[in-house]
């Protein structure tokens, strides 16, 4: 089956978060993501989501750079070009360096289109196996320790299988110790978003102390692109290091594993430039015996459904940050909404593509900017 994309819509959509979310670098109350709709000459449609943050604090990209890349480079390179598989479609933009969040939005739309055109669920097209995926939550830095304990309690009561807590220097031990004391056995981890440095003795002391808490892993403690210091730190700690920001694709995963910079990898579809590359990172890790889990960027329903599909691959053995949409948003833009009753999300094996229908009226109601290309 061959596809030629003839029309692409970009929608910049704003959704309010259910609760403000604070990381080591900043606080958010709403998110703006670009939704990408592709249509081929036979009328088949696919949806993707570009989950770049609006600011360059997590990665170098922003919503503005993604819009520019999509409108001026990625969409024009795809339109009118014949392809049979999404990996072939992605060759349209191999010349474009970096800009992986922008690429992920249009890559995902091509995967959804290919799966829908074949009447197949996305999970099957990707080579997934699981009927359901186990779901964890990522909790932001709360103003008080008691505030964090209340959030952990609420999400454990919902059934979530693993708790991740954001940390930063000075906002680490008191929080994690309190959670550990109250729930000695809960799978618990910390995500530092690159806030620590090995040459700061206070930072090193905090990391050593966290090492005593029996955490499942510590995510991205050091610089975003530093796999050398991460290797030094991994030799020092008993706790597994998991890399997030440092891994932009399969080659990065291979190098980090070879250096001993981590024992676990967080795979984010957006960060690595799409579903094809996410699968290649998965394959590199499985071959090396490194467990992976699916990270998130507070995706709306489209990106979240893609996260569910990739999480059905066999190497995703650790519950991910793929929570129900209601963890992040009071109202999502897909039907049915994604839910995680008892901390598990059913993979929609009986529905084609991402398995959730974008609600165009709702998308347009929350849309800040739209362009039709092609
Ligand atoms: O570091 O994993 C991260 C959200 C925005 C930016 C970076 C990160 C996160 C999360 C949220 O942890 C995970 C989610 O619920 O989607
Ligand atoms: Mg992270």
Q: What is the mean pLDDT of the chain?
A: 97
The answer, yes or no, to whether any atom of ligand 1 lies below 6 A from the CB of 193, is yes
Q: Residues 281, 338: one domain?
A: yes
| CA 230–ligand 2 middle distance (angstroms) | 15
Q: Residues 74, 157: one domain?
A: no
pTM over 0.75: yes
- The predicted pLDDT at position 36 comes to 98
The answer, yes or no, to whether any atom of ligand 1 lies below 6 A from the CB of 295, is yes
Q: Residues 24, 170: one domain?
A: no
353 within some domain: no
| CA 297–ligand 2 middle distance (angstroms) | 9
351 within some domain: no
**Whose alpha carbon is nearest atom 9 of ligand 1?**
297
The answer, yes or no, to whether any atom of ligand 1 lies below 6 A from the CB of 338, is no
Q: Residues 190, 61: one domain?
A: no
For residue 298, which atom of ligand 1 is closest to its CA? 16
Q: What tens digit of pLDDT does each residue of 9-41 get?
A: 999 999 999 999 888 788 999 999 999 999 999
Q: Residues 52, 159: one domain?
A: no
Q: How would residue 5 be classed by pLDDT, with cut points 50, 70 and 90?
A: very high
Is residue 153 scored above 90 in pLDDT? yes
Q: Residues 99, 178: one domain?
A: no
Give yes or no for a contact between 316 and 133, defined as CB atoms under 8 angstroms apart: yes
| CA 259–ligand 1 middle distance (angstroms) | 25
CATH number of the domain residue 238 falls in? 3.20.20.120
**Whose alpha carbon is nearest atom 13 of ligand 1?**
296
Q: Residues 10, 90: one domain?
A: yes
Q: What tens digit of pLDDT does each residue of 208-265 get?
A: 999 999 999 999 999 999 999 999 999 999 999 999 999 999 999 999 999 999 999 9
Which tokens sit at 22?
A: 């604070």
CATH number of the domain residue 90 falls in? 3.30.390.10
- The predicted pLDDT at position 166 comes to 97
Q: Residues 68, 154: one domain?
A: no
Q: Which domain holds residue 76?
A: 3-120+359-373
- The predicted pLDDT at position 280 comes to 98
Distances, alpha carbon 149 to alpha carbons 13, 127, 142, 172, 324, in Å:
32, 38, 9, 14, 20
Is residue 1 scored above 90 in pLDDT? no
Percent of the chain topping pLDDT 70: 100
295 within some domain: yes
Q: Residues 363, 339: one domain?
A: no
249 within some domain: yes
Give the chain's domain count. 2
**How far is Cα 335 from Cα 340, in angstroms, rounded to an integer?**
15
- The predicted pLDDT at position 68 comes to 98
Q: What tens digit of pLDDT does each residue of 327-337 get?
A: 999 999 999 99
Alpha helices in the chain (DSSP H): 63-69, 75-78, 86-90, 100-117, 122-126, 145-158, 173-182, 201-210, 227-236, 250-259, 275-287, 301-310, 325-328, 360-365
Which tokens sit at 344?
A: 């598990």
354 within some domain: no
Q: Residues 238, 365: one domain?
A: no
Q: Residues 7, 69: one domain?
A: yes
Q: Residues 223, 251: one domain?
A: yes
Give yes or no for a contact between 60 and 98, defined as CB atoms under 8 angstroms apart: yes
Burial 236-255 (b: 16+ CB within 10 A, else e): ebebbbbbbbbbbbbebbbe
- The predicted pLDDT at position 23 comes to 83
Which tokens sit at 115?
A: 């799966």
245 within some domain: yes
The answer, yes or no, to whether any atom of ligand 1 lies below 6 A from the CB of 58, is yes
The answer, yes or no, to whether any atom of ligand 1 lies below 6 A from the CB of 297, is yes
352 within some domain: no
Q: What tens digit of pLDDT does each residue of 296-309 get?
A: 999 999 999 999 99
Which tokens sit at 360?
A: 């165009």
Q: What tens digit of pLDDT does each residue of 53-110 get?
A: 999 999 999 999 999 999 999 999 999 999 999 999 999 999 999 999 999 999 999 9
Q: How would residue 356 be classed by pLDDT, with cut points 50, 70 and 90?
A: very high
202 within some domain: yes
Query: Which ligand has the shortest distance to the CA of 321?
Result: 1
């Amino acid at each position: 089956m061959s596809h030629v994309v003839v029309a692409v819509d970009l929608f910049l959509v704003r959704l309010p978060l259910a609760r403000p979310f604070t990381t080591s670098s900043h606080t958010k109350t709403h998110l703006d993501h670009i939704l990408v709709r592709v249509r081929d000459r036979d009328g088949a449609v696919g949806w993707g989501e570009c989950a770049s943050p609006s600011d360059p604090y997590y990665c170098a990209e922003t919503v503005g750079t993604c819009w520019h890349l999509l409108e001026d480079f990625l969409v024009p390179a795809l339109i009118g070009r014949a392809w049979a598989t999404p990996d072939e479609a992605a060759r349209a933009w191999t010349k474009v360096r970096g800009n992986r969040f922008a690429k992920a939005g249009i890559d995902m739309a091509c995967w959804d289109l290919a799966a829908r055109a074949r009447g197949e669920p996305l999970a099957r097209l990707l080579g997934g196996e699981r009927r359901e995926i186990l779901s964890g939550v990522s909790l932001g830095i709360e103003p008080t320790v008691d505030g964090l304990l209340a959030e952990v309690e609420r999400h454990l009561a919902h059934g979530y299988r693993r708790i991740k807590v954001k940390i930063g220097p000075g906002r680490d031990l008191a929080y994690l110790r309190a959670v550990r004391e109250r729930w000695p056995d809960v799978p618990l981890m910390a995500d530092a978003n690159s806030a620590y440095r090995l040459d700061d003795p206070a930072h090193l002391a905090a990391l050593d102390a966290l090492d005593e808490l029996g955490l499942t892993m510590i995510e991205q403690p050091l610089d975003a692109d530093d796999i050398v210091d991460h290797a030094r730190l991994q030799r020092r700690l008993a706790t597994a290091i998991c890399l997030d920001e440092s891994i932009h694709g399969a080659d990065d995963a291979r190098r980090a594993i070879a250096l001993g910079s981590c024992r676990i990898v967080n795979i984010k579809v957006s960060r690595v430039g799409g579903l094809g590359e996410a699968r290649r990172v998965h394959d590199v890790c499985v071959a090396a015996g490194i467990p992976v889990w699916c990270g998130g960027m507070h995706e709306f329903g489209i990106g979240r459904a893609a996260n569910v599909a990739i999480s059905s691959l066999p190497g995703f053995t650790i519950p991910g940050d793929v929570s129900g949409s209601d963890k992040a948003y009071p109202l999502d833009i897909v039907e049915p909404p994604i839910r995680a009753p008892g901390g598990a999300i059913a993979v929609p094996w009986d529905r084609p593509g991402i398995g959730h229908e974008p609600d165009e009226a709702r998308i347009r109601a929350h849309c800040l900017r739209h362009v039709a290309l092609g």
